[in-house]
Each structure stands twice: as structure tokens, then as C-alpha cells.
A and B are shown apart, each in its own frame.
Chain A
Amino acid sequence: MKKIVLLVFAATVLFACSNDDNTQAVAEADPVTVDFTFTQNWDGAEITNADYQNTTYINANNTHLELSKLVYLISDVTFTAQDGTVYDAGDYNLIDARNGTNINFTPGIEILEGDYNVSFTFGFDDEDNDKAGGYPDLNSSDGSWSVPMPLGGGYHYMRMEGTFMNEIAQTETFQYHTIRANKHTTLPPGPGTLEFTQDTSFVVDLGTITVGNTTSIEVQMNVAEWFKNPNTWDLDINNSVMMPNFELQLDMNENGSNSVFSLGTVSQ
């Protein structure tokens, strides 16, 4: 009987703590997660918290501007294996660059070590944008990350805001907001004015990356590119009310998808 007591005692101690004993050595074939870090720069100069409302940048149109806010949404980080198999966690991440919120992100998917083509979506594609029931966390973020229904609903892709010096040397505000392009019969938008929407999210291809046991991938955003290429942005003309402007949303999509994002440091 004493042996039984001792055995039960020992078994109990061994099994009572869930975190102690269940870990097994990680074999080489075990799947891994991949970490991402999102950084921002202005033509190579890192943008830190201290730069907001302090540092004056000059855009491609030779306009002086300061940034106040930079929040953007990425989704569908995708790993495509060499054999063509696609791994996509289907999750999303809202990054507040100024406050440093969510600049580090680990998609909720595990993959085997190896070489993958890595990509993500800037914003939400239509499938995610129109998800039934929406996203309570995004509805609750930043006032609401949602887009008004008269503009087609869904969610913002990016809110970049700040001030600039206009043609007559006055400080003006700008709101560079990217959303799904929405075409209206008449403006201002209202019930019944929406003709159609066009998905202006875009896929950012980071190229082939070797994923190891502890891989961290830096994704760089060159903010200057939003104003540069191929559409030189004139803030004196286009500084506000961009959300219902179909053509401007297409222009922002062109600039964004051209060269805003790039692969930074990959550490193993």
C-alpha cells in the first residue's frame, strides 16, 4: 500500500503542472512561426516617434510637410513553398507607427523550415473587407477603423495625417486616407450614390526568404513613396476628402503598390 501511495504521489506531482513536462525536444522537422517587424522611413531616414510633428519632410512635389499620424492595416501574410503549397494564416495586423503599437507581428501559422516566397496584403482584399459581421476589434480601434456604408463600407487601409505648407506659406492639414475605391454618381456621397467599388488593396511581394527556426523579417515602408511614384502628389490640390474620390484612391494604390514597401533585414 505504501508503494501505491508513493506512486500516486509521484504521478500527481509529475502531472499536476501543465507547463512542466509536456515539452519535447524540437526536432528539425518541427514547424516554426515567423516574426515580422514593420518599420517606416522617409527615403531611408528612419521615422521614429520623435519625428512626428517635429521633423519636416520634403516630398516629391517639393512640399514641406510634417506627419502626425500613420496607422495602417496589413493582412494575409502568405508563405508559398517551393512546391507551390500556400500557407496563409488569414489574420491581420493594425500598425500604429507613431505609437509603435503592433509593429511586431507573428502570423498565427506554423510552417516547416525552408525557402518560401513571402507576401502580404496592404489593407483588406474584398473577401476580408466584406466579412460577415466585420471585426469587433477593428470597429473598436481608432474611433472606428471602419469605413462609412455610403462609401462602400469595409475598413480603412491606411490613415496618414499631418500638416503641410501650402502655396501661400500657410500651414494646412492633410488626410491621406486609403480605402477601397468607391465610385459615385454624384458627390457628396449618400444613400444611393454608390455606383460600384474597386478593390485597391494590393499584394506586397517580399521575394524568397529562407525560414529557419527563429526567423525575423523586417518590412520597410518608405513613406516618401506615397507622394512620389508614379504619381507626384500635389498636396495643395489633394489634401482632403480623398475617401470618396475614386480616381485618387486609384492613384494612391498605384503609388503604394509600386515601391512603398520593401524587404528589410532578415535575421535568423
Chain B
Amino acid sequence: MKMDLTAYLAWEPFHSKKLMKKLGIFSGLLTVLFLTSCKDSDDSVQYVATPAPLEIPAIFEGQILPPVIPEDNPQTVEGIALGKKLFFDTRLSADNTLACASCHMQQEGFSDSRQFSVGITGEQGFRNSMPLQNLAFNYGEKFNWDGSANSLEDQMFEPVVNPIEMANTWPAVETMLQDSNEYPVLFEEAFGTQTIDSTLVTKAMAQFVRTLVSANSRFDQAQLGLIELTPQEQNGLNVFLDESRGDCFHCHGLPANPLWTDNAFHNNGLDSEFDDLGLGNVTGDPREFGLFRSPSLRNLKFTAPYMHDGRFATLDEVIDHYSEGLVFSETIDPLMKAISEGGVQLTDEDKADLKAFLLSLSDDSFINNPDFRE
């Protein structure tokens, strides 16, 4: 049988002054009961650092979904600061020479102007360093060119131990951080513990990387009514949105999706045979051989070279590829058109306009933001 608690609390004796002290005891008892009578309650008192929710740029607000922030890794002032310090710390590599920032440089859109980054042994990688921007808005949470990481935290684990990148071990990194004078305190401030492990390291770095939001390009400013695009940039947008010419928007979004990527995987007609299976190497599905994640078109001004293997040194080469360089393979994306002719054969004027528009998506304030510097 249920009871009406409200009626009991309104009962006359509860209003007598002499019972007030006991009511204090009751309220304590009530608190304990509320905490213990639900199965999902958490008995432990958890440390909470200073919340620092991501600021949503005006151009994103109400236009696209909110960022993906894991429940077990909220953004905090202390976590972001720690993640930034770790991002720039060369001691994460086995010989103390390489940091995350060594291959993801702010002035290069948190990418690398070299076709392939070079690890601590001097060996080159085999894919171009992906730019880091707006990753909190990757709703599918497939990271890397091949989708091999299922979260940003997950992505952070691999480069540290990759033998052609930082070539370290996580136990060694944990020991180094634990033995340092500064890190245990910083971890305590960020996570409430001085016991450092790889999970907390990756959580902190993910928090910092999530702050790398780029949304202040010329095109953004035009969308907000602050400036006007040049006629050439406007014509370039028309080429971009025209199915018979660029048709770039089906993979790279449009003004309604200011991320300028679908974060999905495509075979964009680069090769007839594959040296690198991309997504197919992760899933094992032959239908996904040669598929790579669409990069955002933001900040192309800073992120050359282009494609997963950095084969194109310039934006002109990229546009030429889609215009007349497409080649057929079994998994080619149906969005690639006129493949037998190499592409849709853009005019020189359309190419120049398209390039102007693409460059309008670059955000100088992003690469000069002091919050992102060491």
C-alpha cells in the first residue's frame, strides 16, 4: 500500500518546535534513504573539476547537432589544460623527441606539410597526417583515414605505441608521467587522482583536441552577414553545389552543414588497384577496399598536401583529379561521375572559381589562436 508522504509531513505534530531537532535527524535519514534505495545511485563522492563546456560557434548553433562529449569524459578547465600540455610533450615518445604536435602543427591546420610524417626512427609513415579540427562534431565517431578508432579517446592510444611514430609503450609513458614533478598534481586537479594511467592520459588529450574548433572562415563570416563573398567565391560555390560540375556537396556538405565533411568513407577514384585498403583493412569487407574518410574542406589553405597519402601537393591537382583524373575500380563511389572520361571536365574558369570558394573556408584565426599554442 502506498502512503502519501506530503500528508504525513503536513501532519500537526511535525509543526511543533520541539520536534525540529529530530526532524533534522529525519532529514539526514531521508537523504541516506534516497541515496540508498535506488539501485542506480552511486555511493562514492566523485571529484569534479571545473566544467568547461565547448562553446558552440554561431555558425553551428541550431544548424547541426551538438558535439559528442562522452559522459565519462566531460570537458573541464583542468582536463583541457592537462591535455594541451600532453599534446605538446615530446616525452610521450620513446626518445623524447616527438610530440603529437610534431605531426599536427597549428600553423598547418594541425596537420603536417610533409607528405608523410617521420617517426622517431626516421622512418616515414604511409598516410598524410589528418588535420585536427571540429572533431567533437564527428557524430559517427570513426576516426583516422581508415576509421580504425571508435572514439577520440581511442584514437589517442595508437600513435604513442606505433613503431613508426612515437614508438613508446604505455607503461613507460605512465611511469615517466608518474615520476615527474608536475604531472601527478595536474592529474589530480583534472581527474581527482594522482595515479596516472593511459586512460586518463588519452582522456585529457581528447578534451584538448575537442577544443580545436574552427568556425571563423571568410565563408562563415559571409554566412553570418558580416562580409560578402567575392563574385569568384560565389561562382565557386555554385560549381561546388552543381551536380553537373563539382557535385562536391554530397560528400563534403553545404552551407547547411558547416562541417564541410560527411565524415564517411568513399573511394574517390584515385587508383585502379589499392596499395592501401583503407577502411577495408579495418573491416575486412572487400566492398570497403580503398575507402577513406572524407576530410573536412576547412583550412585547405594550410593543410597541403592532400588525400590520404598526400599525393597531391596543391589544390589545383585535387580539382584536376575530380575533373579529369578519375579512374575506375570495383569499389568506386557512385558519386564519381563520367569515370570513363576521367570526370566531368570542368572549365578553367570553373576550376579557378571552385578553388577560390574552397579557400574561403580557411580560418586564419584558427591557426593563430593562442589557446591552441604550447
Contacts and interface: CB of A to CB of B under 8 A. Distances in A.
Majority secondary structure, B binding face: loop
Nearest to A242: B243
B256 interface: yes
Contacts of A58: none
B5 A12 contact: yes
Interface in A217-242: 240-242
A183 interface: no
B101 interface: no
B2 A144 contact: no
B334 A17 contact: no
B272 to A, nearest CB: 12
Interface string B36-70: 01110000000000000000000000111100000
Contacts, number: 136
B91 to A, nearest CB: 38
A140 B64 contact: yes
Interface residues of A, number: 54
A190 to B, nearest CB: 5
Given A4-B13, A52-B287, A143 B243 contact: no
A8 B251 contact: no
A27 interface: no
Contact of A8 (B8, B38, B64, B336): B8
Contact of B244 (A16, A21, A163, A188): A188
A71 to B, nearest CB: 11
Interface residues of B, number: 54
User: Which of B29, B33, B234 is packed against the most chain A CB atoms within 10 Å?
Assistant: B33
Contacts of B259: 140
Interface of B: 2-5, 8, 13, 22, 26, 29-30, 33-34, 37-39, 62-65, 137, 139, 234, 238, 241-245, 247, 249-257, 259, 261-262, 264, 287, 294, 328, 331-337, 339-340
21 contacts: A8-B5, A12-B5, A13-B37, A15-B5, A16-B34, A17-B37, A17-B39, A53-B287, A53-B331, A136-B65, A137-B65, A143-B249, A143-B257, A148-B249, A150-B238, A151-B241, A170-B340, A173-B335, A174-B334, A175-B250, A244-B242
